[in-house]
Amino acid sequence: MKIPLLNHFQQSIFTLFKGNVIAQIISVTGAIILAKLFGAENYGVYAVYLSISAIIAIVSTLQLDLGIVITKKDAASKNLANSLFIVVVTVCLLFFLLIQFIFNDYPFGMDNSIILLSIAAGFLLANNKIFESILTRNKKFNLIARGKIILSMATVSLQALLYLYYPKTGLIIGSLLATLVLLLYYLLVNLNQLKLPSIKLFRQNLIKNKNLLLFALPSNLVNALAIHLLPILILTYFSSAESGSYSLSLKLLTTPLFLISTSISQVYFQKASELVHQSNHELYSLTKSVVKTNLVLFLIILILINTLGIYLLNLYFGSDWENLQSFTLILSIS
């Protein structure tokens, strides 16, 4: 659906927003149902699998996928994308060899097979990030939005199906297969972008995008570690059930806040783009009003989640998720 009053840039944001909203609703609804089915321990292992794969995806692309969008020449951008596919394979193979031949005694307190599946997922995620950067450069935002919905639907449906056959690892296997489905989708819509890269041109791209290596990679890696390290540490030093409670609490808190903030930002952007050329004073007043509205809505949501929401979740999950309330309260305050 296109909105005639929006310009191309606004329409692109709205398209991505719709995809994100639908994907998030499917994801969080599925997470609540599947967490109940699989239990806190299995969900905790799944959370660590997601954390490791997310970190590997960042490292394996070296954050040069951002260069695909900002590189001026199309030929150089396309060559960078195709070169990165090879880089991702190389880095993920190094991770595989590291785990297979150096860490033999269950790193993070997990079976090596789960770690290896995390590396495979990181490989798929990294390639999907490259394809999304290609689509972003080509302004095919509708395909990205569709991809997010495909991923959410495939993840929830495959995990629910695999529960019947793999009640312990179905979450991980289902997520891995869903990520593969997304990769196949991106391959189909990007076939004309694939070709053998030029090493010489790739070296030139590295020099031009050296700031991504020097600043974006360390910065984004630190941010990723701050987000994803806690589930790993909780599983390592406490238990997988604690890790599962923490991860589900975080998901339940962030999803409604994300939906509200993106909804308000969309309306704000549309109005601010008009006021920026008309009145700075009105723009300032609008911005102040939006900030206040965000704070009030966030506070209401956090109170509802920590009162009625927790009560309903406790009724639904029972005693298996005994620390869900504590983690939700702590994360709300922090």
pLDDT tens sequence for the chain (334 residues): 544 444 554 565 566 666 777 888 899 899 999 999 999 999 999 999 999 999 999 999 999 999 998 888 999 999 999 999 999 999 999 999 888 776 655 555 567 788 899 999 999 999 999 999 999 888 888 898 899 999 999 999 999 999 999 999 999 999 999 999 999 999 999 999 899 999 999 999 999 999 999 999 999 999 999 989 999 999 988 989 999 999 999 988 888 777 666 556 545 554 665 666 677 777 788 778 778 877 887 888 888 888 888 888 888 887 778 788 888 888 888 6
Q: Which residue type does 253 have?
A: L
Whether 260 is in a domain gets the answer no
The whole-number pLDDT of residue 278 equals 73
Q: What is the torsional sign of CA 46, 47, 53, 56? A: negative
What are the residue ranges of helices labelled H in the chain? 8-61, 65-70, 74-101, 112-137, 141-162, 170-189, 199-208, 210-211, 217-237, 240-275, 280-304, 310-317, 324-333
pTM of the model: 0.85
Compute the half-sphere exposure of residue 129: CA atoms within 13 Å on the CB side of its CA: 24
Residue 246 lies in a domain: no
Q: How many CB atoms lie within 10 A of CB 298?
A: 15
Task: Give the separation between CA 112 and CA 110, rounded to whole angstroms.
Answer: 6
For 198, which DSSP code?
A: P
Range of the domain at 148: 8-239
Number of domains in the chain: 1
* Unique residue bearing structure tokens 């310009």: 7
How many angstroms separate the Cα of 167 from the Cα of each of 29, 112, 119, 171? 19, 19, 22, 8
> Cα–chain-centroid distance for residue 53?
10
In a domain, 81, yes or no: yes
Instruction: Give the DSSP letter of residue 72.
Output: S
Q: Among 213, 310, 273, 245, which Cα is nearest to 14's?
A: 273
Q: What is the CA radius of gyration of the chain?
A: 21
184: in domain: yes
Residue 298 covered by a domain:
no
278: in domain: no
Q: What is the pLDDT of residue 62?
A: 95
Q: What would the two tokens of residue 248 be? A: 């589900």
Q: Using CA atoms, how far apart are residues 19 and 11, in angstroms rounded to an integer?
A: 13
Is 155 part of any domain?
A: yes
107 in Cβ contact with 153 (< 8 Å): no
Distances (CA, A) of 95 to 85, 123, 175, 227, 272: 16, 10, 20, 21, 46
User: What are the structure tokens assigned to 44, written together?
Assistant: 């905790």
Q: Which pLDDT score, from 0 to 100, does residue 99 have? A: 81
Residue type, 333: I
Cα–Cα distance, 312 to 328 (Å, whole number): 13
Examine residue 212 and state whether it is found in any structural domain, yes or no. Answer: yes
Residue 43 burial by Cβ neighbours in a 10 Å radius (0-12, 13-18, 19+): buried
- Phi, then psi, of 278 in degrees rounded to 5: -115, -55
Q: Which residue reads 């020449």 in tokens? A: 73
